[in-house]
Amino acid sequence: MTQQKKANRAPSRTLSKALTGIQGLDEITGGGVPAGRPTLVSGGAGSGKTLFALEFLVRGATQLGEPGVFISFEETIPDLIKNAASLGFDLDRLVANKKLFLDHIAITRGEITDTGEFDLDGLFIRIADAVQRIGARRIVLDTIEALFGELPNPGILRAEIHRLFAWLKERGLTTVITAERDRPDKLTRHGIEEFVSDCVIVLDHRIREEISTRRLRVVKYRGSTHGTNEYPFLIDEQGISVLPISSLGLDHAAPIERISTGIDRLDGMLGGKGFYRGSSILLSGTSGTGKTSVAAHFVVAACRRGERCLYFAFEESPRQVIRNMRSIGIDLEPWVRQGLLRFHAARPTYGGIEEILLVTHKQISSFKPGIVVVDPITNLLMVSTLGEVRSMLTRLVDFLKTEAITAIFTSLTAPGGSLEASEADVSSLMDTWLLLKAIEVGGERNRALYVLKSRGMDHSNQIREFVLTDDGLRLLDVYLGPEGVLTGSARVSQEGRETAAGTSRRQELEGRGRDLKRKRQIFEARMTMLKAEFEAEEEAIQQSIAESTLLDQEVLRDRGQMQRTREPHGSAAARVGAARPARTR
């Protein structure tokens, strides 16, 4: 069966690979280690070689249906079982079920005397026997170089080890050979890597500032592409987890759904609808600018919608966060009780950056939140360098995006530092960046907020002052003065000035109105008077006209009477004479 499988594999053009079952490693190597061939795992003391090898076998036996043999040259079997138990592996049960075979090869140098030619047939026979007993497909030799310390004649030993590898390959056993690396310029102490030409993985265990970091690198993988970076890995009660930085790719979905920030006016600043679901939001600012408060608003809004929230508190304890938020009228406790909000609080210094990432992953995978808050990411710098934090965040953001989880990261800006430059390292990972800042003016320190960037949406360019009231965070109206945005009492006095100016304008207007009215009244009065005068004059004139007409008639009448009295028979002539002057006039 085994032989048949191998025969089928041989003509295939691409290298066939055997999954290791180690979380993350199969992604880096594109499917595991070379099937039916030896892989060298090299590393310094305590770098996790044995655990790597153990997990390779246990995963093979339990998940991939490939029984395995562990040949230990160093640790005794009881020790091995105890160590494996720390990873949550029950070797006893696997051995009882014939899925695993453990053999400890102990040689004590003192016992050995070299008397001539020898070979390692004893070892071959032991391995063959073990493999045959359980039908093994995998084997681990941990660490075969120990033989060099215990057997004489390195020349023979090297030749024999070479023969052993060829023999293992011939049998199609997927092999992991561990080797001690005591010098950085060499992969193994005795140079056995030259016999293992297919795949070499180096494990490393570094201590920086008292915090340990484990790293893994695929140095060589003949006939296959592989990730060449150094990948951090972790060993915990569930085994090894390698955290590939780039294995996830950039193919996550981009939801168009928008979710409220929990602050109406902030939603307004973000195109009126809030954040995109699944986006990553950076909330940066100096201390005491209200980062946690903004995050808490978002959390409460999400809980109200019935979404789960996971809050990673790296600075404050959950009770502290709850108490502090209560002071601004946000009660988180009911949501915790309802199981919608979960806190995970830990000092980052508790473990290395990888451990934090792993814990984060695990919490997210188990709780399945819609919202994640990391408060603050800057505390991670306490345990690691900027580069590592950045790489960790990249992976975290990738992971969150794949899961369409909206995440808020708060970041503490050092006072005095440039607000925007200091976060440049992580900002490119973020979709939306809200900057909170304290504006100090006129002996006051006021809080302001603005949207530095927000990908894919219309957003406000304003700097908005906000206050933390008993009823939550409130964004205020904008007042711009000659020196920028006006806040606090400067804003209040500006408001006052504007009110006063308005009043006086109104008063002036009213005054003018009154003026006009008065003028009109005067005008009208004058007009009345003039009219009265005119009328009086007119009356007088007309009267005089009437009088003079009357006088004329009287004159004529008098003249006529006179003529009539002077010539009693010439009255007709007198009448004609009287008419003539009237006509000529």
Partner 1 sequence: MPTTKTRAPARPGQPKPRKQAAWKLRLYVAGQTPKSTRAFDNLKVLCEKHLKGRYLIEVIDLLEHPHLARGDQIVAIPTLVIKLPPPVRKIIGDLSNADRVLVGLALQQVV
Residues that bind partner 1 (CB under 8 A): 103, 105-107, 111-126, 128-129, 147, 151-152
Best CA proximity match to 177, nearest among 128, 162, 185, 186: 162
DSSP SS3 for 270? coil
Least distance (Å) between residue 25 CB and partner 1: 31
Best CA proximity match to 447, nearest among 222, 239, 259, 292: 292
* Residue (129 or 264) nearer to partner 1, CB: 129
Identity of the residue numbered 281: I
* Residue (73 or 233) nearer to partner 1, CB: 73
* Residue (68 or 262) nearer to partner 1, CB: 68
Q: How far apart are CA 568 and CA 83, in angstroms?
A: 175
Q: How far apart are CA 230 and CA 214, in angstroms?
A: 10
Q: How far apart are CA 172 and CA 35, in angstroms?
A: 8
H-helix segments, 386-462 = 386-402, 424-427
Contact yes or no for 359/346 (Cβ under 8 A):
yes
* Residue (141 or 322) nearer to partner 1, CB: 141
Best CA proximity match to 33, nearest among 271, 258, 196: 196
Identity of the residue numbered 128: A
* Residue (118 or 367) nearer to partner 1, CB: 118
Least distance (Å) between residue 73 CB and partner 1: 9
* Residue (117 or 210) nearer to partner 1, CB: 117
Q: What are phi and psi of 351, to 5 degrees?
A: -145, 180
Name residues whose C-beta falls within 8 Å of residue 118's C-beta, 6 or more positions apart in sequence: 153, 156
Tell which phi-psi region holds residue 444, choosing left (phi > 0), alpha (psi between -120 and 50) or beta.
beta
* Residue corresponding to tokens 């070979």: 119
Least distance (Å) between residue 112 CB and partner 1: 6
Least distance (Å) between residue 160 CB and partner 1: 8
Least distance (Å) between residue 51 CB and partner 1: 24
Least distance (Å) between residue 131 CB and partner 1: 11
* Residue (73 or 312) nearer to partner 1, CB: 73
Least distance (Å) between residue 48 CB and partner 1: 26
Q: How far apart are CA 360 and CA 366, in angstroms?
A: 10
* Residue (111 or 237) nearer to partner 1, CB: 111
Q: How far apart are CA 489 and CA 494, in angstroms?
A: 8
Least distance (Å) between residue 108 CB and partner 1: 9
Contact yes or no for 405/312 (Cβ under 8 A):
no
Instruction: Give ∠ CA 114-116-121 in degrees, rounded to 5.
Output: 90
Least distance (Å) between residue 150 CB and partner 1: 8
CA separation (Å) from 534 to 520, 543, 546? Answer: 20, 14, 18
At 293, list the tokens.
């408060």
Least distance (Å) between residue 115 CB and partner 1: 4
Q: How far apart are CA 218 and CA 32, in angstroms?
A: 11
CB count within 10 Å of CB 30 equals 15
Least distance (Å) between residue 368 CB and partner 1: 49
* Residue (22 or 123) nearer to partner 1, CB: 123
* Residue (122 or 513) nearer to partner 1, CB: 122
8-state DSSP, 423: G
Least distance (Å) between residue 343 CB and partner 1: 53
CA separation (Å) from 83 to 52, 75, 91, 117? Answer: 12, 10, 10, 37
Q: How far apart are CA 67 and CA 94, in angstroms?
A: 9
* Residue (151 or 248) nearer to partner 1, CB: 151
8-state DSSP, 263: -
Intra-chain end-to-end CA distance of the chain, in Å = 158
* Residue (148 or 367) nearer to partner 1, CB: 148
* Residue (80 or 187) nearer to partner 1, CB: 80
* Residue (126 or 453) nearer to partner 1, CB: 126
* Residue (126 or 564) nearer to partner 1, CB: 126
Least distance (Å) between residue 185 CB and partner 1: 30
Radius of gyration of the chain (CA): 50
- Segment (H or E) for 217: strand 211-221
Strand runs labelled E in 120-191: 138-142, 174-180
Contact yes or no for 9/36 (Cβ under 8 A):
yes
DSSP string, 14-35: SPPEE----BTHHHHTTSSEET
Least distance (Å) between residue 80 CB and partner 1: 15
Least distance (Å) between residue 412 CB and partner 1: 59
